Every structure is written in structure tokens, then in C-alpha cells.
Chains A and B, each alone.
Chain A
Amino acid sequence: MANENGKRPTPLLDELEKGPWPSFVTEIRKTSDVSPMCDDLLGQLELSYEEKKGHWKHGGIVGVLGYGGGVIGRYSDVPEQFPNVAHFHTMRINQPSGWFYTSDALRTLCDIWERHGSGLTNMHGSTGDIVFLGTKTDELEPAFKELTEAGFDLGGSGSCLRTPSCCVGPARCEWACYDTMKLCNDLTQAYQDELHRPPFPYKYKIKCAGCPNDCVAAAARADLSVIGTWKDDIQQDDAAVSEYVANGLDIQKDVCERCPTHCMSWNGEKLTIENRECVRCMHCINVMPKALLPGKERGATLLIGAKAPIVNGALLSSVLVPFVPAEELQETIEELNKRIWEFWDENGKNRERVGELIQRVGMANFLDAIGLDPIPEMVTAPRDNPYIYFQEKQASEEESK
């Protein structure tokens, strides 16, 4: 049952071409001239919409020579109906820091993908990669060759260091407390082997956010979350504060009363910040970007262990190192990763993320293994149960005192 143009009708998907939000169906349809895969993708998708079920199979290791990841094998479970998407693999391409491009670079990527794939992309995938959506096994190596010749490389998949990502940072944000763009780029370059040849029990993600607003969701998604912060006082421009007030900002209600530690006061003329009490939450700075700025002694907090639910439940990252000066971040992170990966390699179970390993063996044991001392910044409160496993050595030391 084909239309007069020879294409399968898609009445359900047609509904999704209406309305103000840009339509993914329109995107697929207008790529029909690039590859017959697009028509079969629409056909199979229409079938999914009719039957309310997906029609893709995973399975079969596909990839490029010498790499253990970067390509996700995908096959249709109804290939006789939709032969052009019988194989429909994804290529992940490592994005440049901050997702910046020139028009020429984008055209180069488009040309490569038009020659070797469906012409459909995700800009970008959840982890941050450029996603080339849909190609056949035979096209992987030629596409890879052209990509590397154009200066691009594959991203991560499987039990590897996944493609690191970062916020826009100092390229366009006054709140960047360290150079997220450079750190993300340099770490990615330093870990090319770990990225392309999966060495770990499971995936490991690094995300670099320039300030505690965390625009890349590092705290929720990265095994190692690098979140910018500062140590000294908030930079304050009193004239600009007064300007906000003159322009109608209710500084008492919207700034002082929303401060989580109530470290700010407004006497009708001047804003006073008790910086020792400030937890660097960003609220006041977000409200008055012209008047307040993070301090000058900048760096980042390192947090460990975030992940989505699979396997043992979702975790948010927790504090590992409260402050690392900006200029020491790269070296500190590389040293920490070395120790974390060694412990994980020896103790992690298959498909156990670092956060889950810490839950299983205990944070204190993890800290021992990576050579960090326990400090109160790591917890919201000390334990409230008395089931303390005293260590033999320490117990005898206590007795000898």
C-alpha cells in the first residue's frame, strides 16, 4: 500500500508535522533525498506508532578497526518490510569542547555523513557526542577514514571512559571558575586509549561544569563531576546593586531571604555579605549578574559517583575534594583517576559503576584505597547508626594511649 509517489503513507507521523515546535518527522522526511534509509525509517516508525512497540534489535559487535567502541550496532526486527534499515548503526563522534563549530566544519561533517550514512544526526547525543544516526556495516570504516582526515574522531561506548563534556565556560560565561573547555579537551586527549578501548568494569563519565549552576548536569550524570567554585569573597559592585534596586528588584525578598545560609543583609542602602557563611550556591549572583561575581580565587570541587538507576539505583555525586585550584585541576584529576581506576579494576564487579562500588565497599574504604583523608565536607552529617567496624590497628592504638 504505497502512495502515488511510491512511499508508504504515514498518517500517524504526519500528525507530528503540525504545531510550532520543529518536527523530527519533517527532519527525517526531508532527508529522503540523501538515502533510502530515511523512507524505511519513517515506515518502520509508523509501524511502531501503529503497534505501540519498538522494532529495533541490538546485538552483534560492529565497529572500526582497533577500537572497542564508538559504534552502536542496530538492526531492524522487521527487515523484510524495511530492507534499507536492516542495518542501522549509530556512530558517535567526539564533539569539540562546548559544542562550538564553524559553518565549514559542520558542512564537512554533513558531506561525510551524506556519503556514508542516512544523513540523519543528533546534535547532540545525551553524553555529548555528535551522533550519526544510521548506517550499514560496510560504511563504518570509510566514514571513519574521512572523519579522521577531517580532524574528527569517534567517541566512547561500552565499558570505557565515555566522551567527556563541558559547559560553555570562559568562552561565554562570566561565572566560569576554571577553563572548562580546555580541561575537557585536555582530559579527552590524555585518555584516548581509555576512550577507544574499553578497559573498565563499566562506563566512566567526566563532566566539567564551570560553576555550581552545573549546566552540564555533572552532579547527576558524571562518575567524576568537576564543578567550578571559588574560595574568597564574592566580588561585589555596590553601585550596580543599587541600580538593580532602583530598577525594581526586591533585594530583601528575592535575594536575602532566598539565601540558603542567610548570609546577606540589606539595610536599605548597602548589601552586606558574610562571606564566611556563604556556601557558593549562586542564587544571588544569578539574580544580579551585573552586581555580583564569583571571587577571584577560583577552582573546582571534585565529586564522585553519579549515575542513572541501572543497576542499583540512581546516585548523585558526592564531595571528594572540596577545592582544587584551577591551575592544578588537570594534574589532580589525572592522579585521582589513576588511583580510582586501579581500585575499581581490582574490586569492581562487571557493570558496577564507581558510585555503586563505593556504596558496596564503603566510602571510608574507598578513601583509604585512593589515599584521601576523610573530612566533614564529604558528608551531610556523620553516621547515625552505631554499627562501627573498628580497625584493629586503630583500636590497639587507642588502647595504648
Chain B
Amino acid sequence: MTPTATPKAKRITDIGPPNYEKFLPPVIKRNYGQWKFHETLAPGVLCHVSVTGEKLYTVRAASPRLLSVHSIRLFADLADKYCGGFLRFTSRNNVEFLLSEFANIEPLKQDLLKAGYPVGGTNNSISNIVHTQGWVHCHSSATDASGLVKSMMDALFPYFSEEKLPAKLRLAVACCLNMCGAVHCSDIAVLGVHRKPPKIRHDVLPKICEVPTLIASCPTGAIRPATVSGKPSVEVIEEQCMYCGNCYTVCPAMPLNDPENDGISIWVGGKVSNARTAPKFTKLAIPFLPNNPPRWPEVVEAVVNIVDKYASHAKKYERMGEWIERIGWPRFFEMTGIPFTRYHIDDFKNAGLTFARSTHIRF
């Protein structure tokens, strides 16, 4: 810290976030809570109309979520140039510019495109993929999240820049089953999986880890104290381990990253919206695909296949899960060509709830 001549200022804490009101553009302040309806002017461009007749235009652009301060400053400059310096980010990490002037929409879109941040992601499209940190910043990731997202969105790009799907399609990536990305309710979820218990480094464990904390970290109680070569250490009851990596979080001597066995699983049919049907979990489509950076061709191909089948067969307004429920899971596996395996049948708590308990079978 730089020394200063002034007396030491009181340390500021617990002030919470800045009040949102100072970040709202005047058009929003004037019409807060007074919006009457909205229209889509083009993919990625919305127009909200107030009861007073005043209009607010939103231009939504793609973002890699991982943003350089340089890019944020670029967004700030564009906001200054076209919309009085006001912008926001969405719950799916897109950036949105909030315009009062219709005439500014097209030049803003062009500037964004030139800078590499294309416009889209509204309504019946594939919006930005919600994802986790992966190899960029996480200790327990079984794969990289940003690279998977980039590879998939490059392949699915026409679905982002156009609204040509039966309904909205939400993708998410989580790089281990801790699921910081909460992928358990998305239309398609890509989930990194470990498949082997941690390898215990007994030589360093007593020196760098606290055994009681380590034992307490295991969600399934699979870690027990043990004496190894006369020194205090632990053992793992392997059949109880589901490879979550929580032990590695508290003890670096429990690494479970394993290039041979780590990989990707794919899940489908979840949703959080209450529209038409209740929110639902994603269900397993593909238990394992290899980790194949930098472009993960197997994963991209599998996801594109599922999206294409959905896009060409679902009825208007049907989300992925609603489509599959209508046609039945056997037909989903038949249409996508995905093999059904022993791993698809639940064997955790209340597994019986997913067994077919009727003779309603399509032949």
C-alpha cells in the first residue's frame, strides 16, 4: 500500500452491493414497474413498451463470461456511445445494452459484431451456456468448462443468432458433480465426471492435511482413519466414493484428477420454468464420453445430434423434456441412436420412482 500523509481512514466493511437505482437508465427509472408488453424486433433485439408508450430497446450480445478488463471497457465505451452509458448482464452471462434510440440499434450491432461479440440468444434460441470454471480455475474439475462451451457454441452458433427452435433451449456445463453451474435442470447438461476414487499420497498426507477435517469432508462417509507405515493417514472405502472431490478440497494429498478415467456425461430434459409443465431434473442420456481437448469432437457431435433431433421433431413450444415425455424415452434413444445401458437405470435413493410401472409401451 502506498503511504499517505493523511490520517488513517476508517476501514469500510459490510456496506453490501451498491444500490441498483443509481445504475438504471432514465428511461427505466421513468417506467419502472410500468412496462406493458414487449416484442422481439430481431434475434437478440427486444423492445419493451411502457403504459406511457415510451420504448426501451435491448440489444443482447454473446459473452464468453470470462472477460478481460479490456473487453469490459469496450462494452463501457459502446454503452457511452449508444445508450448513455447504461448496460447490464443477464442471468446467463450475456451482455445487454439498454437503448432509448431505435436508430442506434443497427450501428451498435455492427460494432459488437466487429469486436467479436455477436448478437442473439433471445426467445426460441440457444442462449449463452451457463458454466463453471474448469481447468481455468478449479481444483476438482474433471474437464474444462470454457473450452467445452466454446466448442459447442461454435457448432451451435446458428441456433444462437436465429430463433428457429420449437422453444427455448438451455444448455449448461458443470465440470464435476458439485455442479457449481447447477446443470441439473437444463434442457441439455454437460457434466464432467471422475470415475476413480482419490489416490492417497500417504507420504505427504500427515504433513499437509488435518485428518479429522479430511474425514468430515466426505459427503458419504467413505474416508476412515488408518495407520499406514506407522504414520496417521486415511483409507477410502472405494465402493462408497462417488468421486466428488470434496476431500481434495481440504487435502491436496487426495488427488483424483485422472486423465485416463475422467470424462464427460450428457443429461437432457430438465427445465426450471413453470410454463406448461412443472420444473424437472435432467436425466442421463450418455454416461461417458472421452475428454478430448481442445475441441471435444465427441461431445460436440453428441450435443448437436440431440439438438438437431429435437429441433426437427418437437412441436412448437415444446421444451426438450416435454418433447421426450410425449414421445417416450425409448423413442428418444431410438431417434438419437444413443445406446441405453445399465448406467441409465437409477440405483440411488427412491430409484423405483423411475421404473416404468405401467404397460404403456409404444411398439
Contacts and interface: CB of A to CB of B under 8 A. Distances in A.
Interface of A: 12-13, 15-16, 18-28, 30-31, 34, 41, 45, 48-49, 51-59, 65-67, 74, 77, 88, 90, 94-107, 109-110, 113-114, 119-124, 126, 128, 133-134, 141-142, 145, 148-149, 151-153, 165, 167-168, 170-174, 176, 179, 181, 185, 188-189, 192-193, 195-196, 212-221, 227, 254, 258-260, 280-283, 286-287, 289-290, 293, 308-314, 316, 350-351
Contacts of A260: 276-277
B150 A19 contact: yes
B291 interface: yes
Nearest to A97: B20
A219 B272 CA distance: 6
A28 B65 CA distance: 12
Interface string B264-290: 000000101111110111000000000
27 contacts: A12-B293, A22-B64, A27-B67, A34-B68, A41-B136, A49-B135, A52-B293, A77-B252, A107-B76, A121-B69, A123-B89, A126-B181, A153-B13, A170-B33, A173-B38, A174-B36, A174-B38, A179-B33, A185-B16, A185-B17, A196-B13, A216-B91, A217-B185, A219-B272, A280-B274, A308-B178, A310-B179
Contact of B182 (A170, A258, A280, A308): A308
B139 interface: yes
A148 B280 CA distance: 40
A104 B141 CA distance: 35
Interface in B240-283: 244, 246, 248-252, 257-259, 262, 270, 272-277, 279-281
Residue among A45, A215, A254, A287 having the largest count of chain B Cβ atoms under 10 Å: A45
B269 to A, nearest CB: 13
Contact of B150 (A24, A74, A212, A215): A24
B20 A192 contact: no
B22 A13 contact: no
B48 interface: yes
A103 B66 contact: no
A15 B117 contact: no
B35 A258 contact: no
Contacts of B331: none
Contact of B64 (A27, A94, A101, A213): A27
A295 B258 CA distance: 54
B20 A103 contact: no
Contact of A119 (B22, B68, B276): B68
A217 B151 contact: no
Interface string B86-123: 11111101010010000000000000000011100000
A216 B1 CA distance: 39
A192 B71 contact: no
Contact of B88 (A12, A45, A101, A114): A101
B23 A100 contact: yes
B24 interface: yes
Given A308-B184, A316-B279, A53 B259 contact: yes
A221 B178 CA distance: 12
Contact of B275 (A26, A97, A282): A282
Given A49-B135, A110-B76, 19 more contacts: A21-B153, A23-B64, A23-B116, A45-B136, A49-B147, A58-B139, A66-B13, A67-B13, A100-B87, A126-B180, A141-B1, A148-B12, A170-B35, A219-B272, A220-B185, A258-B317, A281-B276, A286-B275, A311-B220
B79 A103 contact: yes
Contacts of B181: 126
Given A56-B139, A124-B89, A281-B275, A310 B246 contact: yes
Contact of A314 (B118, B132, B281): B281
